[in-house]
Structure 1
Amino acid sequence: MPPITILYPFAGDTGLGGSHVSVLSLITGLDPDRYRAKILLHRQPGIVGEYIGDLGLSFEVAEDLPLMRTPNYPRDGDVGVARYLMSLSRQMVREIRRLDPQIVHTNEGRIHTNWVIPTRMAGRKHLWHHRQDPRAFGINKLAPLFTNQIVSVSHFSHPARPVRPVEGRFTVVRSPFDFSSDIPDKEESRSKLLSELGLPEETLLLGWFGTLVDRKKPVRFVEAVAEIARAMPGRPVHGLLFGSVDEADPTQKQLCLSRAAELGITENIHMMGFRHPLAGYMAAVDIYLVTAINEPFGRTLIESMHLGTPVIATAHGGNPEAIVDGKNGFLVEAENPAAFVGPTLRLASDPQLYDRIVRTARNEAHQKYGRERHISQMTEIYDKLARRSGT
């Protein structure tokens, strides 16, 4: 039996996010005798293409294939709805027929919106891998009508108000994590980071990881650092934001810096930018503060649990599906920076609690979120879709 061919289209003009890391981890783990992956990037390779190349995967760049402009993801070079309907959708149909996949697997907002209808027009199966807000337009209006399968990273992100029922087509599959690599030495990583920033050994390092977008609430992180610093006057407290600026929401970096200035903690906030690999930095910080709301299932949250950095997260989105308050991390009220103070003080003052949280979190992460389990679940879905298409 010939292998099942799966097309993975990506935008080439975005930053590297958790959705890219997750699906590319899946692709590298597919059995090549059973599955053939074809990766297509719109217009340019970008950071995503660089990462794909680093993984040893091949890809094509469709330089003359723009994307339809969507309200949440406007980019230079995108086209309007009229052009999409009149010509671009048909161009995508031709690309699908040229590449000849049985399945088109999309993984990010505007890629879902652009590819789901052409996939159905081309007579192929579409898999909508949902990692976003359950209230999003596409998952409620387009996916219920046109996709063959919705795979979501959490129960939280089930479509809130689908135009038609999705039961029977909705499956939760947790993101894949490769826990086989060596864990960076925490003390060594911490010392390097302190040296880079010129900070004393006793500094409490609070980390934030993610693309700088409003949903992830980086400004709330700055405010939480200010609250914690006020509660710990005898110890230096510094907040480090790791992540790239999103072109669709370019104001967040300046908003963070402006808020830090207003709160008088400019010297305590560090915009670290995009760093890869990230594991050493995630291991280096003392505590990871997850301020996001409507986050279906944050990849960095699980990575932090694996790397031995305790997590304090908002009790919102998919976070409560991973964190049990006081057992493998802490949950706090969303949109309330002061709520992070109590758990931070407990972790900073009680080494035994800190170590217990770290051990429990790592054990649970390894049990629930291993890469092989994810690959097994996804290939089962691929097999079912391919059988439905007559493969």
Structure 2
Amino acid sequence: MTTHLPYQISHVYLHESAKMPALNLQQGNYLVFWWKTIPLGDLYLEPGVTLSEADYFKKMGQAILPTLQQYAKSTSERNQNLQATQMLEKLKNPESWLPEALKRKPTEKIPKEVPVSVIICTRNRPGSLKQCLEAFQKMLCRPQEIIIIENARENDESEAVTRLYPNVKYYQEPIPGLSYARNTGIKKATCPIIAFTDDDVRIAENWVHQVWQTFQDPKTMAMTGLVIASELQSEAQLIFEKHWSFNRGYTDKIFDIEYFRKTIAKGPPVWNIGAGANMAFRKSIFEETGLFDERLGAGASGCNEDSEMWYRILKNGHTIHYNPRAIVFHEHRRELTALKKQIFSYMRGHAAAALIQQEQFRKAGYARHLSHTLLVAYSKAILKGFPQYQAQYCTLWVQIKGLIAGIVYYYQNRKKTELR
């Protein structure tokens, strides 16, 4: 049996220093590159890997180039970025060219408060909730409204935490299920933009501002943001980050009706749009699409209530923007037993949501997607993982069980009313 080595996470802020960071050669290294508040890219270095200074800068240039190219407005600028990320002297002196490449002004005025309702659903986790609410007190730009929805609470500890913050509203949703809690939050929200995050994430200080900025484009009806791992100490955390990551990359992505049409035959992979721990909507979209399907989500099918909502938004012809500058940091589950339980829920919710989406639009290829996953993809994985089923293959059997459980769940619940 192989021994797992943890990964050291290093955030490299190029506006402070472009020097090669100290690497821990006794374990793996995960580097995230930044220019001030803009995440530029990341780099994995396996345990024991050593790099010369030249090799480090070469890999750094490759990691940040895609982000730089999205800001380029011409072929000439793209060529300049390509050349800069291949030149050692340029990479050692990023302040001489990166601000211009990123089209960032020296100062950007940030409002103190914006018309955003932040909804945080929680359940009997007062310690995590307090840490989360503390982060909002330090925001450069604060939301007009913070709403806590406690789902099927067992005691009053979380409510007591919210009393410490006069600007926080607290409500209860007695029916177990994350979708029930989120729908209650939507009904209570008063701002035109509604943002969701979880009580167990660490939020970047400019998160609210970035959420608000995303909706300055009138076409945008929903958004998701970047989720970065806060630690990679255990094998379970590394497996999740490398094979189930919430991180959707460092470049903006637009999902619209064209994306929907191009992917409909195989079933639009809406689960790739983002993560429920970092998402937001115009409140008005819920009047058109309806609220979250309460058959889905934690406490019901397991998950995918978020991606099913994104599916409805796209099906109705609207746009979703993935903005990597809206950032939260997520602590993945440390234990393999907890990871397996999580993956079972993911696959159960995935299958149930896929069939619900198929039901909404018969031309969607989700039934084909599920049968191919079960009969082809998992057959190949079983052979590849044989006989030890280690690393990413350690969750293979719970994935299969979860997918089958989700199909059964759908047929058992398809006639139920979606919403109260």
Give the TM-score normalised by the residue count of structure 1: 0.24
More strand by share: 2
